[in-house]
Structure 1
Amino acid sequence: MYIGLDLGTSGLKALLIDDDQKVIAEATAPLTVSRPHPGWSEQSPAGWLAAAADAMDGLAASRSLAGVRGIGLSGQMHGATLLDSAQNVLRPCMLWNDTRAHAEAAAMDAVPIWREITGNIVFPGFTAPKLMWVRNNEPDIISRVAMVLLPKDYLRLWLTGEAVSEMSDAAGTSWLDTGARDWSETLLEATGLDRGFMPSLVEGSQASGTLRRELADRWGMPADVVVAGGGGDNAASAVGVGVVNAGDAFVSLGTSGVLFAASDAYQPDPATAVHTFCHALPETWHQMGVFLAATDALNWYAQLVGSDAATLTGELTGLRPPGRTLFLPYLGGERTPHNDARIRASFTGLEHATDRAAGTAAVLEGVTFAVRDSYDALASTGTRFDRLIAVGGGSRSEYWLRAIATALDMPVQVPVAGDFGGAFGAARLGLMAATGAGAEIATLPEISKVVDPEKGLTAAFAEAHARYRDTYVALKGLS
């Protein structure tokens, strides 16, 4: 048996699979986020350990874990977990959606070497600019920093005693030479660090250590349980849904949204604001466009009109052409393709005919056009899309899927019901590390249906997308 631990922003999930990759048990534990100032988003790393302990205790209480051979890790990316020389946490972790370091990120990104080595823009949410913010604003903290870990890697430290990261998560720090799959000494030095401050690196499917005896005894596991390198949340989810070969892609409609495409070559184009990262498997990379509000935008609108997301989407029947009302879903800024931490969401084209249903359709279309922006950005780098799979809570909306298929003018595949997310991908990586298996076990899920584009509406969606992009240009200076 194999366990996947997925450290998310709102909770931690533990998933147990058997040798045939069938899910046989799961447990979850909640997490909370602190936002003490505008643009700040923090969590206590101690909360991650408590959540992991609770979830694992839950698994162990539900069935015997004596047959577990491997554990894989998936986690929220970009968080800055700062430790002193005794491995004590120095301050709350600054999370992926913390944008306070926007000035530091802009200053770093203005120096060409960052994009040249990492293959990416230095985004405000990435780890390196957060360290520069701490250096500029918390000198008492920075003077005591001895180690910088990503969230799931702090969890690994507790599980194994080893300070290790892996390529897919490390690629989101702005310190990794993404083509060479190694820390860049040049970029570390530019932020006052060196390799001594960083964890060692393994591939996501390789072993990073073994479970500490104390924890193995607590949960009734063998003494030699292997802990895999694992992956950043999106790379692990890609392993879970089988998107590991060039041409395969998925669109995730969760709190935030991702368009993720696997690649067998390193082909960065930072100017597009596309993320070009290492995949969680050796000699594989991936590209993704990230839009910061997907179901988050729908839930925001539902609260605004006093309803819930399922009711609102259920009120929409057949796909219709976009109306005059447009919604820009930039509730907390946007990454791809704008790299704009200051832009905010807006409705335009409101009129007497704009009722609740029209507002719902506009919100779904706004996120759909964000998907189209990411699709265009990835395609411009040469990424191909042979297959697109939809995952995440938003994929339960038939209307939304039809809108995306029509806006992209390509079919969208929907898996059968099941868990193909980060925890499942992490469990697969744990299986690989424990058995020596490779990418061949990361098979695609069974597809329950294919949502085809509505050819009669593709032109209308293309026209509305053009208005959407023009509206961003017109309004960006007003936010």
Structure 2
Amino acid sequence: MTVLAGIDAGTQSIKVLVYDADRREVLDSASAPLDLISGEDGSREQHPSDWVHAMEACFDRFDPGLRARIAALSVSGQQHGFVPLDAAGRVLAPAKLWNDTSTTAECSRIMDALGGATKTIASAGNPILAGYTASKLPWTKAHRPDAYAKLATILLPHDYLNFVLTGELWMEHGDASGTGWLDVRTRTWSPDLLRATDADRDLGDCLPPLVAHDTLFDIAPASAARLGLPTTAKVAVGGGDNMMAAIGTGCVGEGRLSMSLGTSGTLFAHASRPIVSDDGDWAAFCSSTGGWLPLICTMNCTVVTEQVARLFGFSTREGDAHIHATPPGAQGLTMLPFLGGERTPDLPLGKGVLAGLDPHNMSPAHLYRAAMEGATYALRYGFDAFVAAGMRFERIVLTGGGANSAAWRQMVADVFDLPVDVPRQAEGAAFGAALQALWALERSQGSDATIESLVGAHVTTDARQACTPDPARAEAYRAPYRRYLQHLEAVMPLFRPGSP
């Protein structure tokens, strides 16, 4: 039997899934929580050692006999994190994460050095947004000069776990495109972006080599012993969590749209060529399968519904009842859910806005609905940019914690006016990592199977959770969504850098 492991290093936890490819069955899974270090300046950091300890705790929960059967594994990781290493491979400082907005000023300085956002996009395909890895380097130079002075290698979170597993340093194109330094059109590092980020040194010397998406590495003997894995186990290249979720949800062919309702919200689609927005309306990323992955990211999704539920002393498991008790549009209540700044639209200094309060909608149920609708409308705003660029979709594949809510699944179907499918494997990123490991392993053994055929054989949906748009509700959401856009247009100038 071919047994694979997929490791998903997220913001809130590390998850590990063990999959039997022959029986097409998840044999076991485990998760371990992670702490987040937050600062009033918008900083969001974690200690990379915590990721390692959490990964080890997950493997410790599996039966030793199961671990001994794992043939290959792969790591999915939160994108954009900045892990600085010295020449001996030691971590120099806590990792700054994707949702860290303390480097907003550095983003502008990098783009100004290139002549602005338009020229930055022309150079590499993406603007430098808050959270991208590039802006964290000059921040480190200014605020952690000792770490900058000793800096020898820059890694992303999933790269660091790969380093722990194998003792080797590499990056792959999907996660690398989230640094801001990769020219996504040529799939090579952009000298212009590297110089604009730091003119005092060649940052190319700090970046590990880029490797092909089907490369395999040997696990380090010490790591194999620590995790209880065979010394013959192979480690696939892995990728960013969005790239791995694309595999785990079947988004590896044209016309597929995947949506994740997690701490952040994401929309992504497969493309066989680079799809770059001249205005930076979406992230023009590479995939981890040799293609491209145009992607919309919102920074405030389930975190918003969770905070509202906590405010009123109920669990999000009770949230669907509040949705059913209120009408679409929350009787005029609108929330712009930018509690931690926002990426789509690009408002790193954004704050949450609640508009339209009156005696009829000032209730926990209405506020909870407004939070869920606001998070959904934010993704619809990004979807509209995809459609305006000529992309067309027939269905949405929905994953993430929010997909566990029947009410949210139906809301997505109605707001987007598209059918919604839910994969049987809820942990899309961990499952996608396991499938990438399987694909790389089979290719190393002589198989010429495409990633599309492999995903088609292993990714299935749960018919019981599928939703179709309700025409009456789809119509009922149109005016509230227009109202959301009007409020968004009104407040955007207030949150631009330099606003009073």
The alignment's TM-score, normalised by the length of structure 2, stands at 0.90
Determine if contact 2:326/2:369 at 8 Å carries over to the other structure: no
With over 3 angstroms needed to count, the CA separation of the structure-2 counterparts of 1:385 and 1:258, relative to structure 1, is same
Aligned-pair CA distance for 1:47: 1.1
How far apart are the structure 1 equivalents of 2:293 and 2:177?
11
Aligned-pair CA distance for 1:411: 1.4
Aligned-pair CA distance for 1:441: 1.0
Determine if contact 2:56/2:227 at 8 Å carries over to the other structure: no
Give unmatched runs, 5+ long, in structure 1: none
330, 352, 356: which is aligned to 1:345? 352
Aligned-pair CA distance for 1:90: 1.0
Q: Which amino acid aligns with 2:369?
A: A
How far apart are the structure 2 equivalents of 1:289 and 1:240?
18
Are 2:88 and 1:86 equivalent residues in the alignment? yes
Indicate the residue corresponding to 1:14 in structure 2.
Answer: 16
Q: Which amino acid aligns with 2:144?
A: E
Aligned-pair CA distance for 1:55: 1.7
Indicate the residue corresponding to 2:215 in structure 1.
Answer: 206
273, 286, 289: which is aligned to 2:281? 273
Are 2:280 and 1:289 equivalent residues in the alignment? no
Q: Which amino acid aligns with 2:205?
A: G
67, 71, 76: which is aligned to 1:69? 71
Q: Which amino acid aligns with 1:308?
A: S
304, 308, 312: which is aligned to 2:315? 308
430, 436, 445: which is aligned to 2:460? 445
Aligned-pair CA distance for 1:139: 2.5
Residue by residue over 1:406-440, the C-alpha shift from the partner in whole angstroms, topping out at 9 and shown as x without a partner, is 22121112334x33411111111111122215302
Indicate the residue corresponding to 1:109 in structure 2.
Answer: 111
CA RMSD of aligned residues (A): 1.8
Indicate the residue corresponding to 1:223 in structure 2.
Answer: 231
With over 3 angstroms needed to count, the CA separation of the structure-2 counterparts of 1:317 and 1:171, relative to structure 1, is same
Are 2:26 and 1:5 equivalent residues in the alignment? no
Aligned-pair CA distance for 1:169: 0.5
**Stretch of structure 1 that moved more, 309-318 or 289-298:** 309-318
**Stretch of structure 1 that moved more, 172-181 or 317-326:** 317-326
How far apart are the structure 2 equivalents of 1:420 and 1:45?
22
Aligned-pair CA distance for 1:62: 5.0
395, 398, 402: which is aligned to 2:406? 398
How far apart are the structure 2 equivalents of 1:51 and 1:397?
27
For 1:411-426, list aligned pairs within 5 A: 411-416=419-424, 418-426=425-433
Aligned-pair CA distance for 1:92: 0.6
Residue by residue over 1:188-230, the C-alpha shift from the partner in whole angstroms, topping out at 9 and shown as x without a partner, is 23323332210111233322x2100122234443333221111
Aligned-pair CA distance for 1:312: 2.5
Residue by residue over 1:251-310, the C-alpha shift from the partner in whole angstroms, topping out at 9 and shown as x without a partner, is 11111111111111211105143011111101x111111111111110111111121112
Q: Which amino acid aligns with 2:7?
A: L
Indicate the residue corresponding to 2:47 in structure 1.
Answer: 44
Residue 143 of structure 1 aligns to a residue in which SS?
helix
Q: Which amino acid aligns with 2:148?
A: I
How far apart are the structure 1 equivalents of 2:432 and 2:423?
15
Residue 396 of structure 2 aligns to a residue in which SS?
strand
Q: Which amino acid aligns with 2:214?
A: S
199, 203, 218: which is aligned to 1:194? 203
Determine if contact 1:246/1:384 at 8 Å carries over to the other structure: no
Are 2:483 and 1:467 equivalent residues in the alignment? yes
Residue 43 of structure 2 aligns to a residue in which SS?
coil
Determine if contact 1:2/1:430 at 8 Å carries over to the other structure: yes
How far apart are the structure 2 equivalents of 1:441 and 1:71?
16
How far apart are the structure 2 equivalents of 1:71 and 1:161?
15
Determine if contact 2:4/2:18 at 8 Å carries over to the other structure: yes
Aligned-pair CA distance for 1:353: 0.4
Residue by residue over 1:63-90, the C-alpha shift from the partner in whole angstroms, topping out at 9 and shown as x without a partner, is 3333322111100010110011111111
Determine if contact 1:261/1:385 at 8 Å carries over to the other structure: no
Give unmatched runs, 5+ long, in structure 2: 444-448, 496-500
Determine if contact 1:405/1:453 at 8 Å carries over to the other structure: yes
Are 2:161 and 1:161 equivalent residues in the alignment? no
**Stretch of structure 1 that moved more, 453-462 or 39-48:** 453-462
How far apart are the structure 2 equivalents of 1:396 and 1:105?
36
Are 2:31 and 1:28 equivalent residues in the alignment? yes
423, 433, 440: which is aligned to 2:440? 433
**Stretch of structure 1 that moved more, 288-297 or 268-277:** 268-277
Size of the aligned set, in residue pairs, is 474
Determine if contact 1:124/1:130 at 8 Å carries over to the other structure: no
Aligned-pair CA distance for 1:141: 2.1
**Stretch of structure 1 that moved more, 376-385 or 452-461:** 452-461
Aligned-pair CA distance for 1:237: 0.9
Residue 27 of structure 1 aligns to a residue in which SS?
strand
How far apart are the structure 1 equivalents of 2:147 and 2:323?
52
Determine if contact 2:419/2:466 at 8 Å carries over to the other structure: yes
Determine if contact 1:74/1:426 at 8 Å carries over to the other structure: yes
How far apart are the structure 2 equivalents of 1:420 and 1:206?
23
For 1:354-369, list aligned pairs within 5 A: 354=361, 355-369=363-377
Q: Which amino acid aligns with 1:237?
A: A
Residue by residue over 1:373-402, the C-alpha shift from the partner in whole angstroms, topping out at 9 and shown as x without a partner, is 011012222222122111112122222222
Q: Which amino acid aligns with 2:479?
A: E
Determine if contact 1:319/1:399 at 8 Å carries over to the other structure: no
With over 3 angstroms needed to count, the CA separation of the structure-2 counterparts of 1:359 and 1:319, relative to structure 1, is closer
How far apart are the structure 1 equivalents of 2:285 and 2:334?
32
Are 2:473 and 1:457 equivalent residues in the alignment? yes
How far apart are the structure 2 equivalents of 1:366 and 1:272?
22
How far apart are the structure 1 equivalents of 2:50 and 2:125?
33
Determine if contact 2:110/2:197 at 8 Å carries over to the other structure: no
Aligned-pair CA distance for 1:236: 0.3
Aligned-pair CA distance for 1:147: 0.5
With over 3 angstroms needed to count, the CA separation of the structure-2 counterparts of 1:139 and 1:217, relative to structure 1, is closer
With over 3 angstroms needed to count, the CA separation of the structure-2 counterparts of 1:270 and 1:169, relative to structure 1, is farther
Indicate the residue corresponding to 2:335 in structure 1.
Answer: 327
Indicate the residue corresponding to 1:233 in structure 2.
Answer: 241
Aligned-pair CA distance for 1:233: 0.3
How far apart are the structure 1 equivalents of 2:239 and 2:214?
9
